[in-house]
Amino acid sequence: MSEALTVDRASANPTLAEQPVSIRAETSLADPDSCKFTVSRSLHPGGPFFFGNRERAAGSPLGERLFGLSGVANVLIAGNVVTIGKEPNASWSGLKAAIGTAIRTQLLSGVPVILEMAAYASTQGRSDVELGVVVQQLLDRQVNRSIANHGGKISLVDVRQGKLFISMSGGCQGCGSSQVTLRQGLEVMVKRVAPEIVEIVDVTDHAAGKQPFYPSHE
């Protein structure tokens, strides 16, 4: 669902006085705990910058401001888009407007969204071990809860050089819809919390499942 938030003019800053600020919020269909806020101005030329918690956001005035809002779980800043992941028990009602206000206030302050030191640190990326922890949390808290009703489960096998290796079991193993689950669901959520992941590799033996993609020749 896409909705336009209030449009303000940056009268507080003479250099931006003639530039309107508009923000459009769009909740993800694949992940209801994720919402994309598209801003009418560029936020930062680099990135993407991902902050998984308040501590990670140190050095990003916008990130710190957003984590000051109850219910914000993680923040991804890229170009003119801010993608927010909320806590599962939080509601977008009221939170969307608060996020829009926080983004607009930061822009009008004249202070960079991300300070140069933080931008440099972000480009260093996280280790495979750190990415593995983030992905495992995603699987435990969101992904496997959503597919458990279908008897499926996705397990983390490994993270190596930006590649995520996963396996599917239960109802997902051998299911013809598993690639749809992978591409339209898991991939979207992983990119939100771990943009450093460049590829997801499914190592499942789907031929051993109840509904294999292709017949087993054993």
Sheet of strand 23-27, all strands in order from the earlier edge strand to the far edge: 2-4, 23-27, 34-39, 81-86, 72-79, 44-51
Strand partners, 49: 77
Instruction: Quote the domain boundaries for residue 17.
Output: 2-123
pTM, entire model: 0.58
Across the chain, mean pLDDT equals 77
186 lies in a domain? yes
Quote the pLDDT of residue 5: 66
39 lies in a domain? yes
pLDDT at 67 over 90: yes
Q: Do 152 and 118 fall within a single domain?
A: no
Q: Do 110 and 12 fall within a single domain?
A: yes
User: For residues 177 and 147, which has the higher predicted lDDT (pLDDT)?
Assistant: 147
75 lies in a domain? yes
Cα(124)–Cα(113) distance, rounded to whole angstroms?
A: 18
Q: Do 95 and 19 fall within a single domain?
A: yes
Domain's final residue, options 123, 150, 176: 123
pLDDT band at 59 (very low <50, low <70, confident <90, very high): confident
14 lies in a domain? yes
Q: What is the CATH number of the domain that holds 82?
A: 3.30.1370.70
pLDDT at 157 over 90: yes
Selection from 25-29, 63-67, 105-109 with the highest mean pLDDT: 63-67
Q: Do 140 and 57 fall within a single domain?
A: no
User: For residues 29 and 218, which has the higher predicted lDDT (pLDDT)?
Assistant: 29
Domain total for the chain? 2
Q: Do 75 and 139 fall within a single domain?
A: no
Q: Do 63 and 171 fall within a single domain?
A: no
Cα(165)–Cα(157) distance, rounded to whole angstroms?
A: 5
213 lies in a domain? no
pLDDT band at 177 (very low <50, low <70, confident <90, very high): low
pLDDT at 69 over 90: yes
Q: Do 77 and 46 fall within a single domain?
A: yes
pLDDT band at 216 (very low <50, low <70, confident <90, very high): very low
The pair of structure tokens assigned to 93 is 């009602």
Average pLDDT estimate for 118-133: 68
Mean pLDDT is lowest, of 22-31, 95-104, 128-137, 198-207, for 198-207
Q: Do 112 and 159 fall within a single domain?
A: no
30 lies in a domain? yes
Quote the pLDDT of residue 12: 43
The pair of structure tokens assigned to 166 is 């996963």
Domain's final residue, options 123, 138, 162: 123
Domain's final residue, options 123, 152, 175: 123
Write out pLDDT tens, residues 133-147. 888 888 887 787 777
The pair of structure tokens assigned to 178 is 């598993």
- Cis amide leading into 32 (omega within 30): no
Q: Do 107 and 133 fall within a single domain?
A: no
